[in-house]
Structure 1
Amino acid sequence: MVDLIPRPRVVRTAPGTFVFTPGSLVAGPAEMVGAVRRALAVLDLGAATGGAQTVSEAAITVELDEHLTNEAYAVTVTPEGVRIVAGDAAGALYAGQTLRQSLPAAAFRSAALPGAAWTVPCGHIEDAPRFPWRGAHLDVSRHFLPKREVLRMIDLLAVHKLNRLHLHLADDQGWRVESRVHPLLHEAGSHRPRTTTTHFHGEQRFDGTPHGGHYTLDDLAEMGAYARARGVTIVPEIDVPGHASAILAAYPHLGADPAASHEVLDRWGISPAILSPLPATVEFLAAVFAEIVGALGQVPYFHIGGDECVLDDWAASAEITEYRESLGLATPADLHARFLRELADVLAGHGCRAVVWDEAFVSGALRADTIVMPWRGMEVGRRAASAGHDIVATPVFPLYFDYAEAASPEEPVAIGDTITVADVAAFEPVPASWTPEEASRVLGAQFQLWTERIPDGRTLDYRAWPRGCALAQIAWSGDAEGFQSSLPAHLARLDAYGVEYRPLAGPLPWQRGGTGDRRHSPGAVPVAQVMRHLAEMTHEADSTRPSLG
């Protein structure tokens, strides 16, 4: 019971082992038994459905303990069998994942190897997470990732006891979910004729290849059910009112200038395209939100973006200005805040809490239950927390995994340099200088996978792991104690799983950037320079906009 990632709270070893035999049974409440069997699928365990004698013969017994918190569990292994006690089905799932890590690495294969022996050491583990929000953000707008990649990511999150998948479903470069009430969103907004191959400054070059795709509402329902069975909550994001080129390509009348034409963007960067804040836009989005919530099934959180909005078109529009003045609002920033609050009210009617990026917080008054993601740094996160908002730590450094892991010409192209595994492992989501009240507002942390430079699943693996392993330990265990020494054994598990992670010694020959369009550029910006710029930008914004304080 060593080399476990994330590290459990309590591990006590004992002499002896327990060996699973073919046809081993799991006994207990049906939902919890199902969770354990999913985690240990390679063992092909059966469910004990008979009487007391059948239960007594079970290799694993699972019990519900209502005194344990959600996701908490305890595992006791003796030579006679395994006993799991958990606070809920998620806790039972995580107990199963811990047992899986205690088995040989081959337990992470899709099928048992010939002659495999499933032996687990005796001992006792008690465990519970530090944070309730332990997540990953996946941008499927810039580069669409097929459903199979999303389902695989859900599986990998569950392996690491991560429980939130934040799906970035809409941006300037593509709209990624079916809408039956507004079908042009996916019919026109889900594809572009080409994609830029210019990653840094210079004359734009394009690949000339169409790119696109979207998930049907049935796909979304499947993803939601699949995720819930693995302890993962999908957090959909429709980023508004900026980042709206794909929406406006389909429905230009929703723009600040209804006569303007728009295209799904084929390049990266911030676009001035912005939705109108008029009631018709809110009504339009409310219908789309209802479809997404209805498809996913259970949506406790819904992200509405609010970031990087260029408000010039609002200020230039006589109709929008008249509307703003009729509401008694002084500035376009005030109208931006009201627009997001209206959408949050719509979501509250569906039982969802709104989530926003931190610009929405500095723009003005949000609903009190809105969750803020401070991507520009933990200082703006502290201001949101002190104003009474729950936050999820998402700072560029060290949780933006589109940054390279080394400033080396061998690396594939990245947005900047450098965020290492050690940087992630050293991150503290609750800085020591925060007050107890501010600290209590931190729900957890998540890493971000923006996909301008992640075109496919192989690159996704390379960017996400093993840095995601470090975030999993920080968010679950609370610190990185033992992480570095446990990582080599864990990478053997990822090898068995088929994860094409970045090796600690550097990229494999076929993972390198090479000399083509995916080469690592000497123009990549150092992440420290980015963070200084974001801190300055945030300070300037705070000095000119109202805050919640």
Structure 2
Amino acid sequence: MVDLIPGPRLVRPAPGSFAFTPGGLVSGPAELTGAVRRALAVLDLAGAAGGAETASGAAITVERDEHLAAEAYAVTVTPEAVRIVAGDAAGALYAGQTLRQLLPAAAFRSAAVPGTAWTAPCVHIEDAPRFSWRGAHLDVSRHFLPKREVLRMIDLLAVHKLNRLHLHLADDQGWRVESRAYPLLHEIGSHRARTTTAHFHGEQRFDGTPHGGYHTLADLAEIGAYARARGVTVVPEIDVPGHASAILAAYPHLGADPAASHEVLDRWGISPAILSPLPGTVEFLAAVFAEIVQALGEVPYFHIGGDECVLDDWASSAEITAYRESLGLDTPAELHARFLRELADVLAGLGCRAVVWDEAFVSGELRADTIVMPWRGMGVGRRAAAAGHDIVATPVFPLYFDYAEAASPEEPVAIGDTVTVADVAAFEPVPPSWTPQEAGRVLGAQFQLWTERIPDGRTLDYRAWPRGCALAQITWSGQAAGFAAALPAHLSRLDAYGVEYRPVEGPRPWQRGGTGDRRHRPGAVPVAEVMRRLEEMTHEADSTRPSLG
């Protein structure tokens, strides 16, 4: 039992095995049996007739135990039957996913392969997650990823007992969701005329090819329902007030200079485009947020960004300066903090907790219930936790998967070097030097897939896995012990699933960067140097920000 990812808390092997019969029966409460059947869909299992709580001869019986925590479960496999006990539907789903891993790798195919012996070894497993937030961030703005890729990512998160999909829906390079209240957002903001093919500052090369796309509100409703059925919570992100080129291309009057013209950005990097902080902008965003929340159905968390804001246009605007002074605020940074707090208040009225990147914490006081994602390092994360904010660990190193897995010319182009599977597996979301109070503020961790250099689903697979497997291990099991030994067998499951992951030994011949625009440039900025500079920046900003009071 060494090849389960993530590894369970307790595993007691027993002699013998149980043979499943495709089409066999699962009995128990409908909401629990449905979750198990989804995980074991390849076996085409049926629920107990008439919704009976138990059924004689059932291959799998599922029971609820109210004493078990959310997402917790126990599985007992004997030669006669399989018994699952779960605290909720998510726990039943994860029990099913564990059973799936006990079966041959063919259990990860979309249909049963003839000749497969559907047997599982006898065992007793007790399991529960270390962290409540175990996630992935997917950027669909820089390169649009259609609904099929989002649904597939949800399936793969569920396989790995990951339960958050942070969906980055808006940035300078594209607005990716329909708005009926403000339709120019998707009619104008969802596409750009071309995309840069340059990889370093100063280069000017473009592909000359239009790029775009957006998810309709009906798509969003489907994504939300699909995710909930698989234990995944969708966390939408509309990144404001910076990263606003796509919004301002559609509605330029929302900018700091209403007379300025804007285009959806065709290159990467930080843009000076920024929304005005005036009340009209808050009203605009409130309407858009409400559309997204209504479409998704259940949105306990909503990300509003707050990062990489160039405030020069606010400082030079007489109207914005007068507004800031009328509020009794001394600096544009204080106005930035107030703007984000107003949006968090709007979200609270919609039943959502606001989530921000760490610059929003550094720039000023937030609502006490706002969650902070410290992408610039766990140093700023500790300061946010000490100030009473829950945090989700998201540091560039080792959780930005747009960095290359090796500093090699064989790698496809990446933003920099290097984040390995071993780096991810060695990451500790709660550093041992933190106090118990600070440690208690860590909700979990997630990996980030920024898509400047992820143009399609095949590249997405390559970047996400198996590093995502390591993230699943540390957020569920809490340690890397056993991960390396389990990975080879788990990769055979991903092979059966059709995941085009990066092999541990290096890219396959067709995954290499080659000699064209997709080639990796050895000598790209090392991630360690990036982290050093980011840590310096957060300390500099922290020394000048207003007191938290």
1:239 lines up with 2:239 in the alignment: yes
Do the aligned residues in 1 keep the contact of 2:28 with 2:54 (CA within 8 Å)?
no
Do the aligned residues in 2 keep the contact of 1:466 with 1:502 (CA within 8 Å)?
yes
Q: Deviations over 1:389-448 (max 9, x none)?
A: 000000000000000000000000000000000000000000000000000000000000
What corresponds to 1:66 in structure 2? 66
Do the aligned residues in 2 keep the contact of 1:361 with 1:547 (CA within 8 Å)?
no
1:503 lines up with 2:503 in the alignment: yes
Q: Structure 1 pair 513/147, CA: closer, same or farther in 2 (3 Å)?
A: same
Query: For the residues of structure 2 that align with 1:15 and 1:371, how far apart are their CA atoms?
Result: 47
Within-5 A mapping of 1:101-180? 101-180=101-180
Do the aligned residues in 2 keep the contact of 1:362 with 1:547 (CA within 8 Å)?
no
What corresponds to 1:383 in structure 2? 383
Q: Which runs of 5+ in 1 are unaligned?
A: none
1:448 lines up with 2:430 in the alignment: no
Q: Structure 1 pair 32/54, CA: closer, same or farther in 2 (3 Å)?
A: closer
Q: Structure 1 pair 371/52, CA: closer, same or farther in 2 (3 Å)?
A: closer
Q: Deviations over 1:467-486 (max 9, x none)?
A: 00000000000000000000
What corresponds to 2:191 in structure 1? 191
The aligned amino acid for 1:81 is A
What corresponds to 2:82 in structure 1? 82
Do the aligned residues in 1 keep the contact of 2:171 with 2:239 (CA within 8 Å)?
yes
Could you tell me how far 1:374 is from its partner in structure 2? 0.1
Do the aligned residues in 2 keep the contact of 1:160 with 1:469 (CA within 8 Å)?
yes
What corresponds to 2:316 in structure 1? 316
SS at match of 1:416: coil
Q: Deviations over 1:348-392 (max 9, x none)?
A: 001100000000001111000000000000000000000000000
Within-5 A mapping of 1:113-512? 113-512=113-512
What corresponds to 2:529 in structure 1? 529
The aligned amino acid for 1:95 is A
Query: For the residues of structure 2 that align with 1:52 and 1:526, how far apart are their CA atoms?
Result: 59
Could you tell me how far 1:54 is from its partner in structure 2? 6.8
The aligned amino acid for 1:116 is T
Could you tell me how far 1:104 is from its partner in structure 2? 0.4
Query: For the residues of structure 2 that align with 1:330 and 1:493, how far apart are their CA atoms?
Result: 57
What corresponds to 2:515 in structure 1? 515
Query: For the residues of structure 1 that align with 2:73 and 2:497, how far apart are their CA atoms?
Result: 24
Could you tell me how far 1:201 is from its partner in structure 2? 2.7
Do the aligned residues in 2 keep the contact of 1:163 with 1:232 (CA within 8 Å)?
yes
Do the aligned residues in 2 keep the contact of 1:413 with 1:513 (CA within 8 Å)?
yes
What corresponds to 1:94 in structure 2? 94
Could you tell me how far 1:52 is from its partner in structure 2? 7.0
Q: Which runs of 5+ in 2 are unaligned?
A: none
Query: For the residues of structure 2 that align with 1:53 and 1:28, how far apart are their CA atoms?
Result: 4
What corresponds to 1:46 in structure 2? 46
The aligned amino acid for 1:279 is P
The aligned amino acid for 1:90 is A
SS at match of 1:525: coil
Could you tell me how far 1:522 is from its partner in structure 2? 2.8
SS at match of 2:188: helix
Query: For the residues of structure 2 that align with 1:458 and 1:543, how far apart are their CA atoms?
Result: 43
The aligned amino acid for 1:46 is A
Query: For the residues of structure 2 that align with 1:42 and 1:121, how far apart are their CA atoms?
Result: 18
SS at match of 1:32: helix
Query: For the residues of structure 1 that align with 2:436 and 2:481, how far apart are their CA atoms?
Result: 23
Could you tell me how far 1:543 is from its partner in structure 2? 1.5
Could you tell me how far 1:50 is from its partner in structure 2? 4.7
Within-5 A mapping of 1:20-39? 20-39=20-39
The aligned amino acid for 1:447 is F
Q: Deviations over 1:512-542 (max 9, x none)?
A: 1111111101341100110011011111111
Q: Is the deviation greater in 208-217 or in 49-58?
A: 49-58
The aligned amino acid for 2:307 is D
Could you tell me how far 1:547 is from its partner in structure 2? 4.3
Q: Structure 1 pair 98/423, CA: closer, same or farther in 2 (3 Å)?
A: same
Q: Structure 1 pair 258/53, CA: closer, same or farther in 2 (3 Å)?
A: closer
Query: For the residues of structure 1 that align with 2:49 and 2:372, how far apart are their CA atoms?
Result: 46
Do the aligned residues in 2 keep the contact of 1:411 with 1:513 (CA within 8 Å)?
yes
Could you tell me how far 1:51 is from its partner in structure 2? 8.4
Query: For the residues of structure 1 that align with 2:166 and 2:501, how far apart are their CA atoms?
Result: 21
SS at match of 2:101: helix
What corresponds to 2:8 in structure 1? 8
SS at match of 2:463: helix
The aligned amino acid for 2:121 is P
SS at match of 2:313: helix
The aligned amino acid for 1:200 is F
The aligned amino acid for 1:525 is V
Query: For the residues of structure 2 that align with 1:2 and 1:106, how far apart are their CA atoms?
Result: 18
SS at match of 1:409: coil
Do the aligned residues in 2 keep the contact of 1:200 with 1:523 (CA within 8 Å)?
no
Query: For the residues of structure 2 that align with 1:512 and 1:22, how far apart are their CA atoms?
Result: 40
Query: For the residues of structure 2 that align with 1:275 and 1:23, how far apart are their CA atoms?
Result: 56
The aligned amino acid for 2:521 is S
The aligned amino acid for 1:403 is Y
Do the aligned residues in 2 keep the contact of 1:200 with 1:524 (CA within 8 Å)?
no
Query: For the residues of structure 2 that align with 1:272 and 1:509, how far apart are their CA atoms?
Result: 40
Q: How many residues align?
A: 549
Query: For the residues of structure 2 that align with 1:117 and 1:230, how far apart are their CA atoms?
Result: 26
The aligned amino acid for 2:535 is A
SS at match of 2:448: strand
Could you tell me how far 1:548 is from its partner in structure 2? 2.3
The aligned amino acid for 1:322 is A
The aligned amino acid for 1:131 is F
SS at match of 1:489: helix
Q: Deviations over 1:161-199 (max 9, x none)?
A: 000000000000000000000000000000000000001
1:56 lines up with 2:56 in the alignment: yes
Do the aligned residues in 1 keep the contact of 2:337 with 2:360 (CA within 8 Å)?
yes
The aligned amino acid for 1:70 is A
TM-score (norm. length: structure 2): 0.99
Q: Structure 1 pair 464/51, CA: closer, same or farther in 2 (3 Å)?
A: closer
Q: Structure 1 pair 79/332, CA: closer, same or farther in 2 (3 Å)?
A: same
Query: For the residues of structure 2 that align with 1:54 and 1:154, how far apart are their CA atoms?
Result: 31
Q: Structure 1 pair 52/354, CA: closer, same or farther in 2 (3 Å)?
A: closer
Q: Which runs of 4+ in 1 moved over 6 A?
A: 51-54
